[in-house]
Amino acid sequence: MSLSENLNNIKNQISNSLKESGRTQNSVKLLAVSKTVGCDKIKEMFELGQRDFGENRPQVLRDKAKELESLPINWHFIGHLQTNKIKYVYPVATLVHSIDRKELLEEFVLWAKKTGKKCPILLEVHISKEEAKQGFDVDEVLDIIKEYQNNEYLDIRGLMGMAPLEATDNKVRACFHELKNLFQKSKSFEGASYKAEILSMGMSGDFPIAISEGATIVRIGSALFKE
């Protein structure tokens, strides 16, 4: 299939999932996860109307953003972030989905003080319970929000989570439902720096379930860029 056919297929699936869930059309943003493709494919997808692209490696994000700087792309960072790699992400990211520990929050405070610019972020929640995945524990994330809800140097837009890769639909749904409930609860802790606006969950294999559970961003890679 061509990239155009892939994109139309995913958009149709998103639209159908929204309709089946009783949600309004255009209430979910498609994030094209471009980590496995080169700038030529990103440019082709951009020409088809896609504007949001996600990368999971800091230096690759920096390099692709530089090569495609003439295009008004919204770059998202979705991978694990080490503190010494923030310098590659902070200047170019529209949104960082993967803030998974307090150390990163404190570093983003320092970067905001240093640059005079706040970088929008999401708090990653460890809903899958898989050892290989990162994130704040379900039991601690609301306390983290309360601690940082009025920090003038942060711009926290919501939550992100990943379901287990090898799991039944019921297990996946349970994970997404848990994150949705946390997201709803977090609204009572909104402050100057925390707004519950974005719920980033769902990938190529499970995004219809994520949409039915309230996702506002779905992160699609292989289903979009497969040949």
Q: Has residue 130 got a pLDDT over 80?
A: no
**37-84, pLDDT tens digit by residue?**
999 999 999 999 999 999 999 999 999 999 999 999 999 999 999 999
Q: How does the average pLDDT of the chain come out, rounded?
A: 96
Rounded-to-10 torsion of CA 144, 179, 57, 145: -10
Rounded-to-10 torsion of CA 94, 13, 42, 74: -10
Q: Has residue 8 got a pLDDT over 70?
A: yes
**187-214, pLDDT tens digit by residue?**
999 999 999 999 999 999 999 999 999 9
- Range list of β-strands (E), 133-200: 156-161, 194-200
What is the structure's pLDDT at 128?
83
What is the structure's pLDDT at 165?
83
